[in-house]
Amino acid sequence: MSDSALTEEERRLLVAIQDGLPIVVVDRRMNNIDVDTVLANNFKGARQAIEHLIRLGHCRIGLVSGPLHLTSGRERYAGYLQAMSDAQLPIDSSLARFGDYRQSSGYDLTGELLGLSHPPTALFVANNQMTIGALNAIHETSRVIPDDVAIVGFDDLSWAISLNPPLTTVAQPTFDIGSQAAHLLLDRIAEPDRPTRTIVLETQLMVRASCGSRLTQGERRI
């Protein structure tokens, strides 16, 4: 592949690799560069979160995700789409918003979704910083979680269980990601010419009160 097809980030990474620097990429794929990689199963984690909300009766599920030029953003969006499709629910493009993984974008994009004439009854927010922003936007509109809007975040930090109500999240195996990355780096240093590896670790859906479970089986929010 020619350098012109690479992003600036990929070009810098390629130069470092060609200079012999041992590198492991964490949390995203570099599709155009052959490099050791460790990441969570973003697609499956997002799909499970949406499936859970669907089982609770939600049909209009809003997405606040990261940028699509990053593989993490694309994979979490793909998981959302797959779950909706599998449940034969309509996919409304107006319910999907893409930010920059920062708190301010989570706040702004959630405000846009809640301001719709027919807002979503549930939100899936694709990282912890945007989730904080989303929660702030929800509270500012005096909506009650989960009665007025359910919410599931991606990333499980210690403060998630301290919220009122506690936050349902997709937990990444952060310790294992770091450990695997360290092992790959040491292996690369010991064997600079060995084939590259990509390790994908599974996420876990941590079900708490923020997603709600008060609907009877088979009931749907519309």
Task: Judge whether residue 213 has pLDDT over 70.
Answer: no
**Per-residue pLDDT reduced to its tens digit, 91-111:** 999 999 999 999 999 999 999
Written as six digits, the tokens of 123 are: 């939100």
What SS3 state is found at 211? Answer: helix
SS3 for 191-202 is CCCCCCCEEEEC
What is the residue extent of each domain of the chain? 42-172
| Averaged pLDDT of the chain | 92
CATH match of 42-172 with 3.40.50.2300: yes
Task: Judge whether residue 115 has pLDDT over 70.
Answer: yes
The full DSSP string for 152-168 is EEES--GGGGGSSSPPE
Written as six digits, the tokens of 157 are: 């930090």
Task: Judge whether residue 24 has pLDDT over 50.
Answer: yes
Task: Judge whether residue 1 has pLDDT over 60.
Answer: no
Q: Is 220 left (phi over 0), alpha (psi -120 to 50) or beta?
A: beta
When pLDDT is cut at 50, 70 and 90, the band that residue 164 belongs to is very high
Helical H runs in 56-147?
Answer: 71-86, 103-114, 128-140
pLDDT at 212: 81
Q: Strand pairing partners for 64?
A: 97, 125
The answer to whether 155 and 101 are in contact (CB under 8 A) is no
**Per-residue pLDDT reduced to its tens digit, 65-80:** 999 999 999 999 999 9
